[in-house]
Structure 1
Amino acid sequence: MAIWCAHLAIDRWRLAQSDRDAADAQAFALIAETAHGPRIAALNDAGLEAGAHEGQLLADARALAPHLQVAPSDPAGDLAFLEALALWAQRWGPWSAIDAPDGVIVDATGVAHLFGGEAALLADAQALLARRGLAVRVALAPTAGAAWALALAHHGASAAIATAGPGLHDRLAGLPVAALRLDPAVQLLLGRLGLKRIGDLMGIDRPALARRFRNRRSPAANPLLRLDQLLGQVPEPMLPVIGVAAPLVQRRLVEPIRHRELLDRVVADLAQDMARLLEAEGKGARRLELGLWKVDGELLVRHLEMAEATRDPAHVVRLFAHRLDGLDAGFGIELVRLRAAWTEPLGLAQVDLDDAAERHGTSLAACIDRLSVRLGLDAVRRPVPHGSHLPERAQRWRPPLEARAGEQPGLALHARPLKLLDRPEPIAVLYEAPDGLPRRFRWRERVYEIFRAEGPERIAPEWWRERSTTRLRDYYRIEDAQGARYWIYRAGLPGDGRGGAPAWFLHGLFA
């Protein structure tokens, strides 16, 4: 059984909106950054009615639909959503696989009778997927390729069934070659050769077609291989999606508890159980979720995210003690469940016996965890250098103990001020034309006499990112009569053809 999500990205965005009716009414598009600027990756129905279309540059679409609302596309999030959908679709078969970028294949061999027949199986799939708010087409066929072709090309209804035999061959022959899941370049080449239907490929001389595509080893670039897979003459290996159960422990209490002391004791017991479970699997927890079910049916959830993998029960209990402050137990809590939503491999390590008795401090990871619990998860970060010569882009913020393998080295530039402003502030500067040193500047309604000046340090624009109208910068380190030092720059040069007169900005303050 093939499940094709016709509007996966838009459906996922729509499901995240609180008011879906209002979201459907406004023209909306998901955009992707390209070398030529933002380009539309997906559109809702209102956006299509406004005149925009997929693949169009955002600037051109805004000319047709000025009120078009946009948001960045998220291919990684779409893939994660598709993986979760593939796991959920295993209710219709023993295993499922992803057919990127927007499809799921389910092995429904021998299970149709459990639903009352193939038609009932497809009806059940349609109903449940529609209930989830997804616009899909489903099809059932003897091979994965045939099911996908029917789901993609069948426009008469949202479901189609094809059985093995001569009728399947005739039914597939009338479908377009796009149903073979070929690359766009291959589809364009076949169209130029006059091969627009699958039946055209079936009737052509195979050796002649094989010679043209003999160097195409990828299935998506070889129409003959796709055709054989479609008809079941060549097996089509697929990688099934296998769900990994997160470690979970729970306590179902005989009597509901309302007091904090009893709850802390239950959490301590769960932490011990989780430590034993993680140790047996050779893992440590990075994210823990504590669920508390109250007698009245309300669910309370508390989250923890650690700086590095751990399975220390005492450390987990200390962190949850802050999360449980101010908890309202109501008429009592009858079920407590602890789940490790994110785990990492964590092997056993030998403790240094000589230092164990002398070491009474707190490890760096434990200290970071305590600070994160008290101040917030995003409050503890570390700056890392980034490969950019523009000051505001020369660093990135990363989690405190994240591995440094993917970091880019920063450029070895001149001295930088200790404080950079969030946004450079415009200033008025008196300087020697055309490109002499600054003598006086006005900032925040106050005039400053420049006692010393050093520069310029010229920084060219990043032409591969910015538009051609971006101007270069000349940075100066200056000092006023009171000894305060500033970092200012001039954007542009007179007569550079990229704007009017140069503009001056204050970008940083030295100690």
Structure 2
Amino acid sequence: MTDRPSSPSRPSSRRILSIWLVRLAIDRWRLAEGLRAGEGGDAVPHALISETAHGPRITAANAAALAEGVQVGTVLADARALCPALAVSPADPVGDRAALEALALWAQRWGPWSALDLPDGLVVDVTGVAHLFGGEAGLIKDAAQSLAARGFAARLAIAPTAGAAWALAHYGQEGAILHPGDNLDALPVAALRLDPATVLVLRRLGLKRIGELSGVARDALARRFRNHKAPAANPLIRLDQLLGRVPEPLLPVLPVDVPLVQRRLMEPIRHRSLLDQVLGDLCADLVRVLEGRALGARRLELALWKVDGEVLQRRLELAAASRDPAHIAALFGRKLDDLDAGFGIELARLRAPWTEPLPLSQRDFEAAAEAHGTSLAACIDRLVIRLGPDAVRRPTPRASHVPERAQKWVSLLGAPSTSVDGLLHRLADAASSREAGQGHRPLKLLDRAEPIAVLYASPDGLPRRFRWRGQVHEIARAEGPERIAPEWWRERSTVRLRDYYRIEDGEGRRYWIYRNGLPDDGRGGIPEWFLQGLYA
């Protein structure tokens, strides 16, 4: 057995502030509901739930629910057995993450950089800034008051390393500060940020405190946890991070610099002609900013401040990344027809929160496409402005081999991956594959497969004559079948398989039909025939 020190071997000048948002999820719910902590937010037992394979589970609970015995992680049915009056709302982990990122940027008022400490904490480097707040105790007091003013309950601590600060924030005294020469021997081993399974193993070995690890030889611990590479599963790694013996990489949260331009007008304007001129100038200014970053705008937001303080906002989404100021100004002009300037507009701001890489290129290549009309991207943008974003859609593939489920229609503006050039390439690939004889399915599918009456079928099952929409068609050629089995993971067991045929009638018209089911398959009566597609 060898002893190991429980404090850093040399003093560290680095100082880290750990912020633990004790009730992040429930605080966000309470703020969204307009409730105050300790009053309406905790008067009625309330919990947040998430759906799991075994039913809804509690992910967070307010003080009233915790007082009634509700515990995080329990099934909702068990929690309501303890607290029948428990009210629930769906959890929002994505919103919690977004709120944590916003708080990380806001917390940089106490240090030059900050990082996320998932799932509910922040880390701020406060090295050399404590004197601005009257010392580290004053810094912690200021941070606690600021977080409380924003409606968040928090525990804070300062230490030389992120691991030590986390341990004090979670298991030490409130507002604890670790000075050189102090140790954390009295804290439980869970303060090392270990997963529950590793904590359980250490407790079974009789190691309940951090100081008790010093009585165990390092080689013995290394042999016991040699197969555990993750830091949360290896107490030696976490202990070295706690003491600053090994570096712990932290990813700082950086603000996104959104391209933005604005014009503060010398006199308020009310006339539309002047507003169009200001809008054109804003678009030209923004395009210069985008060109400098090799970006193109996909979403733009225009904000107009009126003299009386009201803010008018208009938003625009483009089918493809663009830096064309005339095109952007023309699209925004259609959104300003119903504008009420009141006593005048004194400030105009244009920003592009959604951008995509758009390298500089020679416009002569586009000039040939626009010489005889409008480019496809500009045409789509104008159609969206006139008809609305839901009226202009594109097909996108889905993970299904059933023809009517193999694609779905989505908005052209809805997904960042939408690209007019990509859409044209996919159409060209489909056309070339058909020309090469590789395309076996028709481009045109009926919205709903229509039943047909097969008047005669050969003994091998190929149809020879059928009636559709009151007209009889003699089949000159037939090819198939292409058998498509039902999707057993999403359909009932009584769904029948399909045999598809490509057929051609005597007049050269080609159809895509299928027989639903097989004779004597035990899943219904006689098979039925349907027509689902037409070949061009």
Is the Cα–Cα contact under 8 Å of residues 30 and 73 in structure 1 kept in the other structure? no
Distance 1:152 1:127 in 2: 18
Q: Deviations over 1:282-305 (max 9, x none)?
A: 111111111111112222221112
Is the Cα–Cα contact under 8 Å of residues 139 and 161 in structure 1 kept in the other structure? yes
The residue aligned with 2:472 is none
Q: Does 1:162 align with 2:185?
A: no
Q: Deviations over 1:390-438 (max 9, x none)?
A: 7886544444262689x9xxxx9999973369xxxxxxxxxxxxxxxxx
The residue aligned with 1:104 is 122
The residue aligned with 1:6 is 22
- Which residue among 340, 351, 367 is the counterpart of 1:339? 351
Is the Cα–Cα contact under 8 Å of residues 47 and 68 in structure 1 kept in the other structure? no
The residue aligned with 1:71 is 90
Cα offset for 1:85?
Answer: 1.4
- Which residue among 418, 424, 427 is the counterpart of 2:446? 418
Cα offset for 1:86?
Answer: 0.9
| Cα distance change of structure 1 residues 114 and 378 upon mapping to structure 2, 3 Å threshold | farther
Cα offset for 1:272?
Answer: 0.3
Deviation larger for 188-197 or 335-344? 188-197
- The 5 Å alignment of 1:74-153 reads 74-75=93-94, 77-153=95-171
TM-score by length of 1: 0.75
What is the DSSP-based 3-state SS (H/G/I as helix, E as strand, rest coil) of the residue aligned with 1:217? coil
Cα offset for 1:50?
Answer: 6.3
Cα offset for 1:90?
Answer: 0.3
| Cα distance change of structure 1 residues 115 and 318 upon mapping to structure 2, 3 Å threshold | same
Distance 1:343 1:277 in 2: 12
- The 5 Å alignment of 1:244-283 reads 244-283=256-295
- Which residue among 59, 77, 91 is the counterpart of 1:42? 59
Is the Cα–Cα contact under 8 Å of residues 417 and 508 in structure 1 kept in the other structure? no
Gaps of 5+ in 1: 422-454, 478-485
Cα offset for 1:67?
Answer: 6.5
| Cα distance change of structure 1 residues 384 and 235 upon mapping to structure 2, 3 Å threshold | same
The residue aligned with 1:439 is none
The residue aligned with 2:3 is none
Q: Deviations over 1:23-56 (max 9, x none)?
A: 97463423144xx344425233255466654333
- Which residue among 187, 194, 203 is the counterpart of 2:199? 187
Q: Deviations over 1:120-176 (max 9, x none)?
A: 21122112212222222221122111111111223x5xx32223233x30xx22222
- The 5 Å alignment of 1:73-472 reads 73-75=92-94, 77-154=95-172, 159-166=174-181, 168-169=182-183, 172-352=184-364, 356=368, 359-388=371-400, 394-400=406-412, 402=418, 418-419=446-447, 462-463=488-489, 471-472=493-494
Distance 2:86 2:176 in 1: 42
| Cα distance change of structure 1 residues 355 and 98 upon mapping to structure 2, 3 Å threshold | closer
What is the DSSP-based 3-state SS (H/G/I as helix, E as strand, rest coil) of the residue aligned with 1:237? coil
Cα offset for 1:196?
Answer: 2.3
Is the Cα–Cα contact under 8 Å of residues 19 and 123 in structure 2 kept in the other structure? yes
Distance 1:27 1:470 in 2: 38
Distance 1:306 1:67 in 2: 46
Distance 1:54 1:461 in 2: 38
What is the DSSP-based 3-state SS (H/G/I as helix, E as strand, rest coil) of the residue aligned with 1:272? helix
Structure with bigger RCO (C-alpha 8 Å, 6+ apart)? 2
TM-score by length of 2: 0.72
Deviation larger for 326-335 or 360-369? 360-369
The residue aligned with 2:495 is 473
Gaps of 5+ in 2: 1-16, 427-438, 450-480, 500-512
Q: Deviations over 1:344-394 (max 9, x none)?
A: 111012334696386232222222222333343344332322113578865
Is the Cα–Cα contact under 8 Å of residues 485 and 498 in structure 2 kept in the other structure? no
What is the DSSP-based 3-state SS (H/G/I as helix, E as strand, rest coil) of the residue aligned with 2:278? helix
Amino acid at match of 1:118: E
Cα offset for 1:81?
Answer: 2.4
Is the Cα–Cα contact under 8 Å of residues 32 and 72 in structure 1 kept in the other structure? no
Distance 2:29 2:75 in 1: 20
What is the DSSP-based 3-state SS (H/G/I as helix, E as strand, rest coil) of the residue aligned with 1:268? helix
Amino acid at match of 1:96: S
What is the DSSP-based 3-state SS (H/G/I as helix, E as strand, rest coil) of the residue aligned with 1:293? strand
The residue aligned with 2:46 is 27
Is the Cα–Cα contact under 8 Å of residues 295 and 334 in structure 1 kept in the other structure? yes
Is the Cα–Cα contact under 8 Å of residues 484 and 498 in structure 2 kept in the other structure? no
Amino acid at match of 2:140: L
Amino acid at match of 1:105: V
Distance 1:396 1:69 in 2: 34
Amino acid at match of 2:177: A
Distance 2:88 2:445 in 1: 39
Max radius of gyration: which structure?
2
Is the Cα–Cα contact under 8 Å of residues 44 and 65 in structure 2 kept in the other structure? no
RMSD (CA atoms)? 4.4
What is the DSSP-based 3-state SS (H/G/I as helix, E as strand, rest coil) of the residue aligned with 1:133? coil
Deviation larger for 349-358 or 380-389? 349-358
Q: Deviations over 1:247-293 (max 9, x none)?
A: 11111111111111111110100100111111011111111111111
| Cα distance change of structure 1 residues 354 and 255 upon mapping to structure 2, 3 Å threshold | closer
Is the Cα–Cα contact under 8 Å of residues 372 and 379 in structure 1 kept in the other structure? yes
Deviation larger for 285-294 or 370-379? 370-379
What is the DSSP-based 3-state SS (H/G/I as helix, E as strand, rest coil) of the residue aligned with 1:130? helix
| Cα distance change of structure 1 residues 62 and 114 upon mapping to structure 2, 3 Å threshold | same
| Cα distance change of structure 1 residues 461 and 88 upon mapping to structure 2, 3 Å threshold | same
Is the Cα–Cα contact under 8 Å of residues 389 and 411 in structure 2 kept in the other structure? no
| Cα distance change of structure 1 residues 5 and 379 upon mapping to structure 2, 3 Å threshold | farther
What is the DSSP-based 3-state SS (H/G/I as helix, E as strand, rest coil) of the residue aligned with 2:249? coil
Q: Give the fraction of aligned pairs with identical amino acids, expressed as a percent.
A: 55
Distance 1:257 1:355 in 2: 36
Deviation larger for 55-64 or 199-208? 55-64
Distance 2:67 2:408 in 1: 40
What is the DSSP-based 3-state SS (H/G/I as helix, E as strand, rest coil) of the residue aligned with 2:175? strand
Deviation larger for 58-67 or 321-330? 58-67
The residue aligned with 2:473 is none
